[in-house]
Structures are given as C-alpha cells and as structure tokens.
Amino acid sequence: PFATNLHAQLTQDSEKLVEQIQQQLEELRLKVAPFADDVHKQLAKNIEELQLKLNPYTEQFRTSVQENAEELRQQLTPIVQKLQAKIQENVGSVQTALTPYALELHQTINDKVEQVKEKLSPYTDELKLKIEQNVEELHKNLALYPQDVQEKLNQQIELMAFQMRKNAEMLRTKISENAEDLRQQLLSSADQIKEKLNGNVADARQNVAPYIEEFNTQMNKKIEEFSQSIAPAGENINKMIVQKAEELKQKLGPYTVGVQDQMQV
C-alpha cells in the first residue's frame, strides 16, 4: 500500500512536475517562438538589402577599373611614342652631325695628298732642266771639234740625253703613283670610320626598336591583365560578403529552430 501510494504519489508529483515544466516551456516557447521566424525574416531582409547595395557598387568598380586601365594606357602611349621619336631623331642627328667631319677628313686627304704631289713636282722639272743644261754644255764643248768627230759624239750624247730624260720622268711617275697609293689607303681607312659609324648608329636605332615594340606589347598586355584580374575580384569579394551573411542566416537557423524544438519536448 505504501509502495502503491508512493507510486501514485510519484506519478502524481511527476505529472505535476511535467505539467509545470510544460507550462514553463510553453511560456518560453510563446516568448521565443515569434523571434525565430522574425530573426530569419530580418536576416533575409538584411541580406537582400546588402545584395541591393552591393550590386551597383560591383558594376561601378568594374567600370572604374576598366576606365583607369584605359586612362593609364592613354597616358603612357604618347610618352613611349615621344621616346621613340626622340630616339629616331637623335640617332639620326648623330649621322647628320658627324657627316661634315667625316667629309672634311675625306676632302683633306684628297687635297693635301694632291698638294704633296704638286710640291714635289718642281723637283722633277728642275732635274729635267739640269739634264738639258748638261746636254747643251756637252754639245757646246764639242763645237770646236771636226765635223766627223762631232757627229759621232752628238749621236751618243743624244742617246744618253734620252735615257736621262726617261729617268727624270720615272721620278715624276714614282711620286705620282706613290701619292695615289697613299691617297687611296688613307681614304679607304677614313671611309671605314664613317661606314662603321653609320652602321653602328643604324644598328643602335634598329636594336632599340624591338624593345619599344616589346614595351607597347607588354603595356597593353599587363594593363589588360590588371583590369581582368581586378574587376572580377570586386565582384567575387562582394559575393563572399553576401555569402557570409547567408552563412549567418544558416548558422542562426538551427539555433532559433532549436529553441522551437526544445519547446516541443
């Protein structure tokens, strides 16, 4: 009977307790339940607003990146063009500036070697004069000799005079030929300076050209890459931000639902 009483008592007590707990839970449920849905709604609304706020911003950012990239390209292009023009101009001016000096060297070689030839020319003339004087004197000295002796001697003298004149002419030829050789050798050596210089200057210009070309290519490519890389980054980051808000909603979901579930024990 005690056991029965106890059981009944316990049953009664526990039923009472359950009733009390249920009552308390019900109160809590009533107190919390509206918020669960509310929080969800609030978060959904907040995410939607964030999305709405970020959308035009994403578009704006993309446009701004492209505009800035284009502007950068437009700012750099004329400066590269100017550099290129100045390279052409200056490298060209080296040739122009140096041409008169190379020409002067060429001209001076021509003139001065000619002068050397001219200055040495009187010596040949004088030599010829001395030969003629000598021959004349020989003839004169033989004038008193008998006719037959004179004739024989004069023949020999004329033969000698002919050979002497030929010798004098050889000197003139030698001077002329040697001067001509000298002129040719000096000119060829001088012209090599000019050729080499023009060649190198042209090379300098040609060698730089591909680097300017390369810069233009790189500039366009890199600015494009920058633009392509940055513009979607803005979009992606905005997506990530919205995703974080979404995650918050998901995270808080079980909690609020959990409160409701707890109420339904």
CB of 24 to a copy of itself, least distance (A): 15
Give the Cα separation of 164 and 228 in Å (integer): 96
**Nearest residue (CB) to a copy of itself, 7 versus 251:** 251
Looking at residues 172 to 201 of the shown chain, list those that interact with a copy of itself (rule: CB under 8 A): 174-175, 178-179, 181-182, 185-186, 189-190, 192-193, 196-197, 200-201
Measured from the CB atom, the residue of 5 and 81 that comes closer to a copy of itself is: 81
> Is position 16 an interface residue for a copy of itself (rule: CB under 8 A)?
no
Least distance (Å) between residue 127 CB and a copy of itself? 7
106 CB contacts (<8 Å, ≥6 apart)?
187, 190, 191, 194
DSSP string, 232-249: HHHHHHHHHHHHHHHHHH
Which stretch of DSSP H or E encloses residue 186?
helix 147-263
Q: Which is nearer to a copy of itself, 13 or 27 (CB)?
A: 27
Q: Which stretch binds a copy of itself (CB under 8 A): 5-13, 15-23, 147-155?
A: 147-155
**Torsion angles phi and psi, residue 28, rounded to 5:** -65, -40
24 binds a copy of itself (CB under 8 A): no
Closest approach, Cβ 26 to a copy of itself, in A, equals 16
Locate 27 and state its tokens: 């109160």
Does 262 bind a copy of itself (CB under 8 A)? Our answer is no
Residue 33 in contact with a copy of itself, rule: CB under 8 A: no
Residue 76 binds to a copy of itself (criterion: CB under 8 A)? yes
CB of 25 to a copy of itself, least distance (A): 15
Backbone angles phi, psi at 144, to 5 degrees: -85, -10
To a copy of itself, the closest distance from the beta carbon of 182 in angstroms equals: 5
d(CA 64, CA 260) in angstroms, rounded, equals 48
CA-CA-CA-CA dihedral for 200, 206, 209, 211, to nearest 10 = -70
138 interacts with a copy of itself by CB under 8 A: yes
**In terms of Cα–Cα distance, which of 174, 170, 165, 175 is closest to 120?**
175
Q: How far apart are CA 193 and CA 183, in angstroms?
A: 16
Binders in 87-116 for a copy of itself, by CB under 8 A? 87, 90-91, 93-94, 97-98, 101-102, 104-105, 108-109, 112-113, 115-116
> How many angstroms separate the CA atoms of 45 and 41, rounded?
6
Q: Does 136 bind a copy of itself (CB under 8 A)?
A: no
For residue 87, the minimal CB distance to a copy of itself (Å) is 6
Q: Shortest distance, CB of residue 247 to a copy of itself, whole angstroms?
A: 7
Dihedrals phi, psi of 142, to nearest 5 degrees: -95, -5
Identify the DSSP state of 146. -
